[in-house]
Structure 1
Amino acid sequence: MEPRKEASANDAPVEADQPFTPEQLQNVWNEFAEQRRHLPAEYQLLTQPYDFTHPVITVHLHHLVQETMLNNIRLQLSAFIRERLKNNSIQIVTKIVEIEESQRVFYTPREKFDHLLEKNPVLREMKDRLGLDTDF
């Protein structure tokens, strides 16, 4: 008669990664984003487009600040997705992409004026004639 082995915590069976579809990933991603809706910056970050090539999710970002924000929630996001999809091989990486000039956001009055000036150089003459200040 063989001696009986007692099961230890280390002998717990490891579940195999479950397959999932891109649609299932999108649903889980959106579910996590909805939990972050009360944090506008994180919610906006989680609405950025991403590519998925199993097992890597590549999130497209526009600024290093966004990368820092994502790094702050990466562990929570990864754990959430892995748990919901029952797949521990999922990884999240970032990629900084350039914003096209047509999509660029202008924040200061100077940036706005300079952008309009590129489209219509006559604005400089009007500004000078009227004595306008664009740096208010």
Structure 2
Amino acid sequence: MSSSRARTPTRRWLVAVLVAAVICYFSVFASPDVGVERLGPLSLFGRDKWFHAAGYAVLAVSIAAAVGVRNHLDGRSDRYGRAVLLAVVGAVGFGIAMEFAQLAVPLRHTSAMDVGADTVGAVIGAVGWWLVARRDEADLRS
């Protein structure tokens, strides 16, 4: 194994940690939006829910990419399913931890709707990664 290939999983995990750190900053340290307006289809959800979904989609993709490349280097045949599962569980677990961390921060509160938005985003991100990764591997084989 070449040294650059050996560093690939480490770099991908560093990206996942960086994404988690950015989410942590906005979840715990940045001031919350007050009176968040509703956006999106039918204006059903506030802007913060869209931000939650987008952030956790990116986190899930970064975790799946790190797990997927590690499994690929190990020669695992189940790399995609395992990567998707670990990405969703990891991202949602991190989201729940961030909600509990907000209990100790003034002007912040926990919300099941936030965890729901985190979960939807994580699933969309991980499944999207899975579809692209499978397609890319099929293209390499043909």
Same fold, TM-score > 0.5, yes or no: no
Larger Rg: 1
Q: Which has the higher helix share?
A: 2
By relative contact order (CA 8 Å, sep 6+), the higher-ranking structure is 2
Q: Which has the higher strand share?
A: 1
**TM-score of the superposed pair, with normalisation by structure 1:** 0.30
